[in-house]
Structure formats: C-alpha cells, structure tokens
Amino acid sequence: MTYCLGMLCRAGAVFLSDSRTSAGMDNITMCSKMRVYEKPGDRVLCILSSGNLSLTQATIALIDEELHLGKQDPGREQLMNRQTLYETVRYIGSKVREVEKRDREALEADGFDFNIHLIVGGQIAGFPPEVHLVYPQGNSIHATRDCPFLQIGERKYGKPILDRGFTYETGLADAVKVGIISIDSTMTSNVAVGPPIDILCYEADSLQARLRAHLDDDDPYLQTISQRWQDGIVKLVNEMPAPDFSKPALGFATAA
C-alpha cells in the first residue's frame, strides 16, 4: 500500500508521499512515489502515485519517454508543453489508458486489479495552482476551496486530522505540519505505509520547486513533530472534562 496527499491552499500547494511498497509480507521495499517536473518561470508539476508498482512505473515511463523524444521534436505532445494543468492531467490520463490497454487483461487473468491512482498538481504561468486526482479509468477530479485536499492509497487513517486541521486558508507551513501528522498517523497505524516521507511545498506564483524535503525515519524534525503530537493529544485528553454518567441512558434497556 501507499499513502499520498495533495493539499491546495490560498498560499500554494503541498504534496506528500510515503515510500513503502509491498508485494506480500516478505517483499517490502522502499520506492519514492513523488516525481517533480520543473521549468522555472514556466511551470512546476508534481505527480504522486499509488497502486500496482508496475502500472505506476509504466505510466511514468511513457510520460518520460515522450518528454525525452520531445527534445528532438518540439511540436510533439508531451507532459511539459500542455497549455493548462487540466490538459496536462488529461494527457496523463491518456497514458494511464495506454497502460490499461497493454496490461489490464493479463493482470485480471491472474486475479490482480488494474489499480493505479495519481495525484497531479502544481502551477503553469498565468493560471492558479491546482491539485487533481487521476483514476484508473484516466478521468480525474480536482481539489476546490471547499474540498481542498485529495488522497490516494491508504487514506482513512490520515483523514481525520485533515478534516479538522486543514482548510484552503491554512498557511503553507501549517499545511506541511498537518500533512506530516496525517502521514505519520497512518504510518503508526498501518505497516503498509512507511518512511521516508517526500515533501514538496509549492509557493503560489513562485513557478519553481524550491521547498522540498525527504524525511527519513530518524529525521529529527519528523521525530519532533511525531513526539509533540503524541504528547500533545494525551495532554489534550487529560485536560478534557470527565464524562457525566449521572443522566439516565434512555436509549437502551438492560436485558436479562
């Protein structure tokens, strides 16, 4: 499994991903799920991937292949010359569909799902930052002010902190902290998600991927956030008022 998160806010966008891949309990390895593509002053794109590793790698391979071929042939359609982020996302969706044509039948014949999800975000000059989610069918949705984050992979453990701690108006530094807590909570509760954590903190209109981090398990900052969260929530619980059992519990009766 995997957990990746794209967060859209007024000040920019934050992308986080774990690095664990597993193909059975005895085959757990590390693989970054984050790809950053940058043409400073023109555009920054970030792709996060979850699902079957061979499918996400196949999709990225097709994208990178055309990017490379496009250097000899500037008219060629490729990742970094689409006019808008939505067109970029549709282009990526078309690569997912190519992989689907190649591999789905063979996978399903042996009982594997065609499972790939991507988060694609960033900014193209002249447009605001955006964060999208691409489905296995190649179609997509995008984050909005009301629904400012998108998750792929093992997403349930890390959702409560986002629902309560993150809005479109959250500043970038706090967004990064909430994102780290969301991933760290998931790692604590589920062994299929693990470090290092890759982070891209994209500042709106900067058009460069300047703020990036790669936090290993023993990274002092990650440990600080994790420990302060642990201590903080225990203290929060301690300080809350005790439950009141003096009212009769009308909702249910005692049997027997």
Binding site for its own copies (CB under 8 A): 19, 32, 34-39, 64, 67, 79-80, 156-161, 163-165, 173-174, 176-178, 180-181, 185-186, 188-190, 196, 198-199, 201, 209-214, 221, 224-225, 228-230, 232-234, 236-245, 247, 249-252, 254-256
Q: Least Å distance between CB 91 and its own copies?
A: 14
- The least distance separating its own copies from the CB of residue 23, rounded to whole angstroms, comes to 21
Helices (H), 50-84: 53-72
Query: Residue 130 or 198: which CB sits closer to its own copies?
Result: 198
Residue 199: how many other CB atoms lie within 10 Å: 20
Is 30:191 a contact under the CB 8 Å cutoff? no
Query: Among residues 105 and 216, whose Cβ is nearest to its own copies?
Result: 216
Smallest separation (angstroms) from its own copies to the CB of 33? 10
Residue 72 tokens read as: 């000899």
99 Cβ contact list (under 8 Å, min separation 6): 55, 58, 59, 62, 116
Min dist. Cβ of residue 210 to its own copies (A): 7
Q: Structure tokens of 63?
A: 């994208």
CB of 106 to its own copies, least distance (A): 27
Give the span between the Cα atoms of 251 and 24, in whole angstroms.
45
Comparing CB distances to its own copies, the nearer of 47 and 100 is 47
Contact 82, 88 (CB under 8 A): yes
Q: Which is nearer to its own copies, 107 or 213 (CB)?
A: 213
Nearer to its own copies, 37 or 86 (CB): 37
Q: What count of Cα atoms within 13 Å lies in the side-chain half-sphere of residue 79? A: 28
